[in-house]
Amino acid sequence: MNLVNNIGQRLDLRTDLVLRYRFQETSGDAKDSSGNDYNGTVTGATQTINGVDIDGVNDEISNTAAALLTALENISVFTIFIRCSAPSLQATDCFFSFGESNDNDAFALYPYSSNGADGLQIWYDGEYIMQAVGDAPADDSMNDFVFRSSSATDHEAFVNGVSEATATDNKSTATSMEGVTVGRYIGNGEWGEGVVKELIIWTRALTDEQITYLSQR
């Protein structure tokens, strides 16, 4: 499916799409609309057609499908997009992670606002590798967060379509994976609180224009 942005550029956002949750279900699994049928198991969260509400205590959406984990193993090029809101974004609120548990080779996304670090913080293997430095994302409104790895040493974070941080740490995905989670850091008990509207993962690096367009939809 081709999409056209406001300057007329054609953006094929379905190429190399591995997972997409639109979180429109009111019960049951989170449906994967990528065509790969990697449906997510919803635990505890409140589901509505406007997103899934996670309580910051023990709610999560998880997927441990062998085919999905194989698709994400040993790749150095990928893009993660998540649209979410929170009553008050905090430094310990993890909204997405994947990799091995117990802090081993796990990527994690923390969209939050605190002194000196507004926007998005990316963790890998128990340590943060970058943090955004732009304006604080608004509480109680949907914000878009993107993490793009163009190679194992070329990473970039975007908040609402704007690039806010880069890193050159030599990080790649785990050689073996234990799962993909929304609402919790797979390595420990750091849970996110808020509403998650959409999650998309590509096994390629989107262009800057495509990332901007995602936030203009």
Q: Is 25 exposed, middle or buried (0-12, 13-18, 19+ CB in 10 A)?
A: middle
- CATH for 2-216? 2.60.120.200
Q: How far apart are CA 80 and CA 97, in angstroms?
A: 10
119 pLDDT band, cuts 50/70/90, is confident
N-terminal to C-terminal alpha carbon distance within the chain: 15
pLDDT digits (tens, 9 = 90+) for 25-73: 999 999 999 999 999 999 999 999 999 999 999 999 999 999 999 999 8
Task: Assess contact for 182 and 21: CB atoms under 8 A.
Answer: yes
7 pLDDT band, cuts 50/70/90, is very low
Task: Name the helix (H) or strand (E) containing 20.
Answer: strand 17-21
pTM: 0.91
Q: How far apart are CA 3 and CA 215, in angstroms?
A: 13
Instruction: Dig out the tokens for 117 from the structure.
Output: 């670090």
95 pLDDT band, cuts 50/70/90, is very high
pLDDT at 154: 94
Instruction: Dig out the tokens for 7 from the structure.
Output: 């300057």
pLDDT at 82: 96
Q: How far apart are CA 23 and CA 66, in angstroms?
A: 22
Q: How far apart are CA 83 and CA 190, in angstroms?
A: 19
pLDDT at 40: 97
Q: How far apart are CA 209 and CA 3, in angstroms?
A: 12
Region 141-152 average pLDDT: 92
pLDDT at 203: 94
Residue type, position 122, single letter? I
Q: Give the closest residue to 69 by CA, choosing from 131, 2, 18.
A: 18
pLDDT at 4 over 70: no
